[in-house]
A and B are shown apart, each in its own frame.
Chain A
Amino acid sequence: MNLSNYLVLATILFSIGALTVLVRRNAIVVFMGIELMLNAANLAFVTFARMHGDLTGQVVAFFVMVVAAAEVVVGLAIIVAIYRTRRSASVDDVNLLKS
């Protein structure tokens, strides 16, 4: 098996995550799509680390995980705050800045 299989899987997962962000309107599902994209990037990093025989890729993937955790905390807090004021979790309803 070639290592590029992992890269292909990572790109497919990344594309599905991007598709989710574009298609779904529920803010939480959109957020999960972003998480999927981050995970796909992590898979690519781990594959690169193995390819080059260098652990830096794994360390970068670790940092991606930490930043993703922080991002999830803040993002979900924003979603909860918006839901409290607007009673909606749809990304279409957050249009206060629309002229």
Chain B
Amino acid sequence: MTTMLATAGGLLATLGETGRTSGGEAVLFWVLAPVMVIAALGLVFARRTVYAAMSVVLVMVCLAVLYVAQEAPFLGIVQVIVYTGAVMMLFLFVLMLVGVDTAETFTDALGGHRWIAGLLGVGLAAVLVSVSLTAADISPRGLERANAGGNPEAVARVLFGDFVITLEVVGILLITAAVGAIVLTHRQRLTRRVGQRERAEARVAAGGVLTPLPAPGVYARSNAMDVPALGPDGRPLEQSVSRVLRIRGQERPVEDVHAHLGPDAVGSTPPERAITGEEQVR
């Protein structure tokens, strides 16, 4: 027990030891590392998938900062562009498609499995951390010489020099992935496509009014849309009033807005007389 405690104390001492990295980098690391670990734990414990996605975004942005601090500015930029910009936004889009409120089944079908899984996770962390701490006296050789002409240029030299075949293969992989995604999300049409022609033919076959509906009559004495227009035969056209007003019963009959004119009056205001249907079209 005491030996274990001593080992743990030694490990902690190596964790806090200051080596050849600058003090500012240590501050940056000790600020970012807890944030990253907490955000990553948010992925495990967040009830809502969107929160989990946002915490992963936070982890990835912090990782980009750490890359820049570790003399890899090119990778830091690529991390922001590819991971937070493309990959996580793709995740959010799929979340939108699949449904944010898809109930996360936290309890059912897991039972003791969850505790075993938690134990395995903690055990994995313990093993990996202890392994990486056994090689505790790691000192950076530094990339000053390798990065002499700028980090992107140096990375490009390695990428297109030593790894050019790998780069080509990765390009093929990307194209394959794009084609695969298209094939996987392609939906086969089960019914005939309904285009403009089909819609027009269906409308003619169904009968009814083919032209646009007449506008309501807006008369001098009412100036509103709730009075029907008059047809060429002098009858009010029911369809000219908005369907909503008709359903609500807010339509007004033509008689309400009659002008008090003689029977021979001419104008846009409907004359004050009963419409018999026998009138001549003016």
B132 touches A8 (CB 8 A): yes
Question: Given A5-B33, A62-B155, A73-B180, are A39 and B128 also a contact pair (CB < 8 Å)?
Answer: no
| Distance in angstroms between the alpha carbons of A3 and B44 in the assembled complex | 27
Q: A2-B15, A4-B136, A19-B118 are in contact. Are A55 and B37 (CB under 8 A)?
A: no
In the complex the two chains form, is A23's CB within 8 Å of B75's CB? no
**CB of A94 within 8 Å of the partner chain:** no
The DSSP consensus for interface residues of chain A is helix
Question: Do A1 and B184 touch across chains, with their CB atoms under 8 A apart?
Answer: no
Complex Cα gap A29–B43 (Å): 7
Residue of A nearest to B93 (CB): A76
Interface string of B99-135 (1 = CB under 8 A from A): 1001011101110001001101110110011011101
A39 touches B59 (CB 8 A): yes
Q: How far is the CA of A9 from the CA of B122 in the complex (A)?
A: 14
Flag if A35 contacts B97 (CB, 8 Å).
no
What A residues does B184 contact at CB under 8 A?
74, 77-78, 80-81
* B112, chain A: closest CB distance, angstroms: 12
A1-B26, A13-B37, A50-B140 given; A69·B14 CB < 8 A: no
- Residues in B neighbouring A97, C-beta threshold 8 A: none
Q: Which of A61-85 contact B (CB under 8 A)?
A: 61-63, 65-74, 76-81, 83-84
A55 and B158 contacting across the interface, CB-CB below 8 Å: yes
Residues of A within 8 A of B193 (CB): none
Q: How far is the CA of A66 from the CA of B14 in the complex (A)?
A: 35
Q: Interface size on B (CB < 8 Å)?
A: 93
Segment 11-66 of A: residues with Cβ below 8 Å from B: 11-20, 22-26, 28-29, 31-33, 35-36, 39, 42-43, 46-47, 49-56, 58-59, 61-63, 65-66
Minimum CB–CB distance from B73 to chain A (whole Å) comes to 10
Total count of chain A residues near the partner, CB < 8 A: 72
Look across to chain B and name the residue whose beta carbon is closest to the beta carbon of A83.
B98
A84 CB contacts on chain B under 8 angstroms: 187
Complex Cα spacing A45 to B51, Å = 28
Q: A43-B63, A66-B170 are in contact. Are A92 and B109 (CB under 8 A)?
A: yes
Given A2-B136, A14-B124, A81-B185, 20 more pairs with CB closer than 8 A:
A1-B19, A2-B17, A2-B18, A19-B122, A20-B43, A32-B52, A39-B60, A49-B143, A52-B141, A58-B74, A58-B158, A59-B158, A66-B82, A66-B173, A66-B174, A70-B173, A70-B176, A76-B90, A92-B105, A92-B108
